[in-house]
Amino acid sequence: MSLQSSIVAEFAITYMRFLDADGQLTQDLPESLNNPELLRKLYEYMVLNRTFDAKAVALQRTGKMGTYPSSGGQEAIGVGVGAAMQQGDVLVPYYRDHGAHLVRGGKIEEIYLLWGGDERGSDFATLKQDFPVAVPIASQCLHAVGVAKAIQYRKQTRAVVTFIGDGGTSKGDFYEAINLAGVCKLPVLFVINNNQWAISVPLSEQTLCKTLAQKGIAAGVPGEQVDGNDVLAVYEATRNALKKIRAGEGPYIIEALTYRMCDHTTADDAKRYQPPEDVETYKKEDPILRLRTYLASQKLWDEEQEKALYAQVKHTVAQAVHAYESIPAQPPTAIFDYLYATLPHDLIEQRDVLLASLGENHHE
Ligand SMILES: Cc1ncc(C[n+]2csc(CCOP(=O)(O)OP(=O)(O)O)c2C)c(N)n1
Ligand SMILES: [Mg+2]
pLDDT band at 337 (very low <50, low <70, confident <90, very high): confident
* Ligand 1 centroid to residue 166 C-alpha, Å: 9
Rounded Cα gap, residues 271 and 188, in angstroms: 36
C-alpha to C-alpha distance for 116 and 119, rounded to whole angstroms: 9
Q: Is the CB of 78 under 6 A from ligand 1?
A: no
Question: What number is the average pLDDT over the span 253-274?
Answer: 98
What is the band of 66 on the pLDDT scale with cuts at 50, 70, 90?
very high
Beta strand residue intervals within the chain, DSSP E = 15-16, 90-92, 160-165, 188-194, 197-198, 201-202, 223-227, 252-257
More confident residue, 215 or 339: 215
Q: CA–CA separation, 23 vs 91, rounded Å?
A: 29
CB-ligand 1 contact for 166 (6 Å cutoff): yes
**pLDDT tier at 364, thresholds 50, 70, 90:** low
Q: What does the mean pLDDT of the chain come to?
A: 96
Q: Are 68 and 330 in contact (CB under 8 A)?
A: no
Amino acid at 314: K
Which residues belong to CATH 3.40.50.970 in the chain?
15-329
Q: Is the CB of 93 under 6 A from ligand 1?
A: no
pLDDT tens figures, 110-135: 999 999 999 999 999 999 999 999 99
Q: How far apart are CA 78 and CA 106, in angstroms?
A: 12
pLDDT at site 362: 60
Provide the 8-state DSSP code for 30: P
Q: What is the pLDDT of residue 363?
A: 55
Q: Which residues contact 42 (CB under 8 A, 6 or more apart)?
A: 79, 80, 83, 231, 232, 235, 291
Active site residues: 260, 264, 273
Question: DSSP letter string over 173-195?
Answer: HHHHHHHHHHHTT-SEEEEEEE-
Tell me which of 137, 175, 192 to substitute to probe ligand 1's pocket, judged by most ligand atoms within 8 Å of the beta carbon: 137
- CATH classification code of 15-329: 3.40.50.970
The better pLDDT of the pair 331, 52 is held by 52
Give the predicted TM-score (pTM) of the model: 0.96
